Chain A
Amino acid sequence: MTDDDKFLIKIDGADYEASPGELIIEACDKAGVHVPRFCYHPRMKPVGMCRMCLVEVSGPRGMSLQPSCYMPVQPDMEIVTESDKVKKAQDGVLEFLLINHPLDCPVCDKGGECPLQDQTLTYGPGESRFVEAKRHWAKPIALSELILLDRERCIQCARCTRFAEEVAGDPMIDFMARGDSTEVNIFDDNKFTSYFSGNTVQICPVGALTATPYRFASRPWDLEQAESTCVGCATGCRMVIQSSQDKLIRYLGIDSDPVNQSWLCDKGRFGYLANYAESRVVTPQVDHQEVSWKVAVDHVARAIKEALATTGPESIGIIGGSRLPNEDAYAWSKLARSVFGTNNVDAQLGDGLDPEVIVGLPKATIDETCASPLVVLVGPDIKEESPILFLRLKGAIDRGTTRVLEISPNPTSMTKYSAMSLFHRPGEAHLVVNSLVTPGPTKAGSGAGLPVGGVELADIDRARALIEDSPGVVFVLGRASMADSAQIVTQCASKVRENLPGARFLTVVRRANTHGALDCGLSPNLLPGRMTIDDARGYYEGHWGQVAQGPGMSTGEMLARAAAGSMAVLILLGADPVSDFPSRSLAKKALESGALVVSVTSHLDESAKLAGVILPTTTFGEKGGTTTNFEGRVSSLSRKVTGPGQAFDDWTVAVLLAKELGGDLGFSSQQDISEEMERVVPLYSNLKPHIWTSLAQSDGVVIPLYGDRVVPRWFDPIATPGIASLVHHPLRPGTGVDKESDPVRGESLPQVPARVEFSEVSRELSIPTLDAYSLRLMAPKVLYDRGVLTEPLSGVERPGSVLRVNHYDLDRIGAMSGDRVRVVSSAGAHEAQVEVDDSISKGTALVAFNVPRSEGQVLAGDLIGYGELVTDVRLEAL
C-alpha cells in the first residue's frame, strides 16, 4: 500500500490519517482515543457481538451509532466517541451486560484486572434498573483439567470460541442453546484438550474462564511482574512472569508482533509448576549424600585435575547447555576451552541437527516464513515441536498469503492446512527433497519411474510445479524422528542449497536455547560467534589465553567413548541423555561406566539419578540473561524470584570450578559476561547494555545486529487483561534492525574470522533397503513428553508409549490391536504393546519418543541404535 491510498478522517474533531480497510476502532487506537470494547481482539476477526464499542459515525443519513470494531473507515468519515448519544449507548450496553453478570467481584479471580469491572467503572451507568433474578448455573464446570468455566459470569463476547476455531483450529467449545440460556460449553465428555486452551483464559474479558492452577491463587494487585521469554521450546515466546511472595504464580503471553502475537501454548503457560515440582534438587549431592557446595565443587575439581594429569583433557566432556541462558553457556564454553583445555562440548543430545544447519544456513525469521508464498516443511509435526510457529503458519495459510508443501513420513497437524503433503518412507526425506529441487525432467511422463522414497513420481511432479511457480520459498527443517539420523536433514539442506540458492531456512529444534548455546560455542567444532575452531582459535587465544586444539567430540561420540570406559569426567549441563539421547541403552551404559558423572541440574532427572555429583541450579524465572530462539533472535530472561535452597546460577558454577582449578574466567556477575560477549564475540557486537536493558521491554532482536534501535511494543490492556502496564505505545513499523551498515562483515574489522557457512555435503547417504519382514521405526517427539518440565502439568493428554502400526502389517504377523509383541531392533529385543493406526503408512512402526510408559510398553529410545542412519525393527507375535 502506498501513502497515496491513505486518506483523512475526523475523530472527535481532530484530523487523522487512515488506510483503506482499517477498522474504526483501530484508527481510534492509533489516534490514542480509547473506545471501550469486549469482543474485539486485535488478533482475531471482528464479530460485533458485545456492542460496547458503539460510536457515532457520519454516513449518508447523518450521524448514526455504529460498532466501531466492525465498520471500516471511509474517506472523510467523521467519528464521535464522546457524545451524549454514545454515552447513552454505552450506559445501555453495560446495563444490559450486567443484568445477568453476578456481582461476585470480591471472590472472582478476575477482580482487579477485569475489563468488565474497569469499563463499567469508566463508562457504566452506575445503577441498574433491573431487579429480576439473575441466571444461575452449576459452577464451575471443567472444560478440561486445566480450564474451568463459570457460565453465569460469561457475557457472550465469543472471544474464546472464536480463538478456538479461528486461531487454534480446535473448535472444541461453542455456544450452546439460545437467548437467555446461551452458554459456552463442550460437547459431552469431549474435553477442551487444545494445546492452546490457556489462551482463552487470558483473553476472557470477565472471570468466566479460569485456569485451574491460578484459581484462587492470588489477587492481581498482589502480583509483581517482569517480561521474559518462554523456554518451553525454541520458539522464544515473549511473556510476563508474575509472582507473589517470591513464588511464581502465573504467566501471560505478550503481544510480540514478530514472535508469538500474544498467544502461548499450555506447556509454556503453565511451565512454572515445574519450578515447584517434587523432583527439584536444592542441595549439592555427592554419591546421593547431601553435602556443602565446597565439598561438591572440591570433589569435581579433584576428579578433573586427576583426569588432566592422567588421561588428558580429551577424557573430560560437557554434554548439554541448551537450557542455559546465553551468558551462562558462554561462561561454560570458556571454562571448557580455556581452563579444562577440551573441545568436548555439545549442547545437543544427538536429538538436534547438525550445528552448521542451525547456524550456517541463510535464515528466515518467523515473519519472513509466514510472508513467504511457499513454505516447505521437512520434518516434524510442528504443532508438537513449536506450537506457536504452527499457529503463525496456520494464520498465514488462512489469510491466503502462504501455501505449505509438507514432506513428512505421516500425516501431521499441518496436513489439513497444507496445499500438498508428500508422505515418504521414514529416513528417506532427502531423496524426496532431491527429486523436488534437482533440475531436469522426472520420469513420471513415461510411467516407468519408480516411486522416490515411497512417493509417486506424479506427486513429485506436482510438488515441483508448486516450487517452480513460487517466487520465493522458505524451508522449515527439523527432525521428524529420533530414529533417523540428523545427517538426513543435513543432506536435505545440502540438496536445496545446491539447486535453489535463493531458498531460505528456518531450523526448528527442540530445546529452548539450542541456537544460543551453539552461538556461544557449546559445540564440538564451533567457538562463540558461529566460527569454527580452525578459523577462530587464534582469535580467541588473543582474548582467553589458551584454546584447545582440534575439533572435540559430539554427545554421541562422548557417550560411546564413556561406554567404552575411556572418559574420566562427564558433566551434564542441564541435560538428561538417558531420556533425550536417541539411544537410551548407550546413554545408560555411558553413565554407568565408571566415569565421574556430574549433573548440573535443577531437577532430579533420570540421568541425575545415575550421577556421582549433583550440583543444583536455578531454573526459568530464577535467573536472568538472554536467550536465543530458533530464528537467532536474542531476547531477555527475567529473574523474578530467588532460587530455592542452595541452587546456584549455572555461570556461578563455572566460575567456582575455574577458581578451584586455578583459572579465572574474569566474571563476577552475569553483566560481566554479557559485556565480554559484546566486546569479544563479533556476533554479539552492538548488543550493548542499553539495548540489552531495553530488550527487557521489547520483542528481542535477531543477531547479528547492525543497528541499535529496539522498537517499543503496542500494548492493549483489554486484549490481554492482567498485564499491569499503563504504557500505550503507538505501533511503529520496522524490525529495529538497520541493515545499512554491518560492522562485522565491513572493512573496519578485517581481523575477525568469518562466520561459518553451511557447506554442501557431496557424499550421498546410503539408506539401507527395508527388507520385506521389517518395519521402519518412527520416533517423533511430542509436546507433552516425559520431561521433568512437563511432568507437573497433570491432566493433559499424553500419548502412551504404544507401538502403532498399519493393520496390514499387524495382520501379517497375526497379532491384534492391543496385543503384546516382541520388537527386535539392532539395539536389542523388547516386549511392546501394539495398536492399529491406519494413518500410519504400511511398512512403518511409530512410537512417540520419551513419553510415559506403562507396564509392557516399550520406550522408543530402547529400540534406537547408536550411529545408524535409520532404525528398522521386526515384530514377532508372542
Chain B
Amino acid sequence: MGGFTPDNLVKAKEIIGLYPKARSALIPLCHLAQSQDGWLTPEAIVEIADLLDLAPAEVKGTASFYDMLHTEPVGRYLVGVCTNIACMLGGAYELLEHCEDRLGIRCGQTTKDGKFTLEETECMAGCDGPPCVTVNYRYFLGLDNQGIDQLVDDLEAGRLDNEIPPHGTVYRNSRNVGLTASPTQEPQAGGKSSQIAQPTPTKRGAK
C-alpha cells in the first residue's frame, strides 16, 4: 500500500482542480484515500500532504478531527451502535454488549479476519426507531439480539453485498454532476444512476 493508485492519483488531481486553493481539497482527498484502502494509511497521508503542499502532521490533524475518517485500520464492515439517549432507552447498551459477544471483540476493536469493526457512536439521527445500528453508515433500526445475529450472518455470507459496499466507499468521488474540473466539459444532468448512492436500506424490527 503506497499512497494513491495511478487511477486515483488522476482523480485526486481532478479534485484539486475544483478548488481555487489546493488546501480546500484536503477532506475530499481523505475520502478518496479512504475509499481506496478502507482507512487513511500513513502513505496516503504523506501523499495527500505532498499533493496539497501541506505537512503530513496537518493532514493527520484534520483527518483525526473527523470520526468518519479513520487513521487506524478498520474492517470491511464498520458496525456502529448509537448509545445516545433515545437508543440507550431502547436498549442500546445491552445490544452493544451482545454485539461484542457475537463478534468476539470489544468496542473499538476489529475482528481477526478483518471483517468487522465495532464502535459506539453518538446520535446518528435514527431516534425514531431506536436502538440505531449502522453498518458502513447504512441504517438498521430497532434490531434486537436476534436481529443483530441475523445481520452479522447475512454480512458474513455476503447476502448484503449489493446493499453495503466495503467501508470507505464514497460515491461522491466519482460523481459527474455539479462542479467540474474543466469548464469546457459539459456538466451532465443526472448522471449514471448506478454511481449515485441509493437511498439507505432500512430494516425495521418487529419490536
Contacts and interface: CB of A to CB of B under 8 A. Distances in A.
B65 A174 contact: no
Contacts of A190: 55-57
Interface stretch (A33-41, A175-183, A249-257, A484-492): A175-183
Interface string B56-80: 1111110011100000000000000
Contacts of A172: 55, 57
A680 interface: no
Q: Which one of B57, B58, B61 has the highest number of Cβ atoms from chain A below 10 Å of its Cβ?
A: B57
A601 to B, nearest CB: 41
B64 A187 contact: no
Interface in A177-208: 177-178, 185-188, 190
Contacts of A185: 57, 60
Contact of B60 (A165, A170, A174, A178): A174
Given A187-B45, A188-B42, A173 B65 contact: no
Nearest to B55: A171
Interface of A: 165, 170-178, 185-188, 190
Contacts of B52: none
Contact of B57 (A177, A178, A186): A186
A773 B55 CA distance: 39
Q: What is the predominant secondary structure among interface residues of chain B facing chain A?
A: helix
B54 interface: yes
Contact of B65 (A171, A177, A186, A187): A177
B58 A174 contact: yes
Contacts of B42: 187-188
A176 B42 CA distance: 14
Interface residues of B, number: 13
A171 B42 CA distance: 17
A178 B65 contact: yes
The 6 closest A-B CB pairs, nearest first, are: A174-B61, A187-B56, A187-B57, A171-B55, A174-B57, A176-B64
A289 B54 CA distance: 57
Contacts of A187: 42, 45, 55-57, 59-60
Interface of B: 42, 45, 54-61, 64-66
A587 to B, nearest CB: 41
Contacts of B45: 187
A169 to B, nearest CB: 10
Given A187-B45, A188-B42, A171 B57 contact: yes
Contacts of B58: 165, 171, 174
Contact of B64 (A170, A178, A188): A178
A188 B42 CA distance: 8
Contact of A188 (B54, B56, B61): B56
Contacts of B56: 187-188, 190
Contacts of B59: 187
A163 B195 CA distance: 44
Nearest to A176: B64
A173 B56 CA distance: 9
A188 B54 CA distance: 15
B58 to A, nearest CB: 5
Contacts of A177: 64-65
Contacts of A175: 61, 65
14 contacts: A165-B58, A172-B57, A174-B55, A176-B60, A176-B61, A177-B64, A177-B65, A178-B66, A186-B57, A187-B42, A187-B55, A188-B42, A188-B60, A190-B55
B56 to A, nearest CB: 4
Given A174-B60, A177-B64, 16 more contacts: A171-B54, A171-B55, A172-B55, A172-B57, A173-B57, A174-B55, A174-B57, A174-B61, A178-B64, A178-B65, A178-B66, A187-B42, A187-B45, A188-B56, A188-B60, A190-B56
Contacts of B55: 170-172, 174, 187, 190
Nearest to A177: B64
Nearest to A190: B56
Contacts of A171: 54-55, 57-58
Nearest to A175: B61
A188 B60 CA distance: 9
Contacts of B60: 174, 176, 185, 187-188
Nearest to B71: A176
Contacts of B61: 174-176
Contacts of B57: 171-174, 185-187, 190
B76 to A, nearest CB: 24
B169 to A, nearest CB: 24
A161 to B, nearest CB: 8
A175 B66 CA distance: 12
Which of B54, B64, B65, B66 has the largest number of chain A CB atoms within 10 A?
Answer: B64
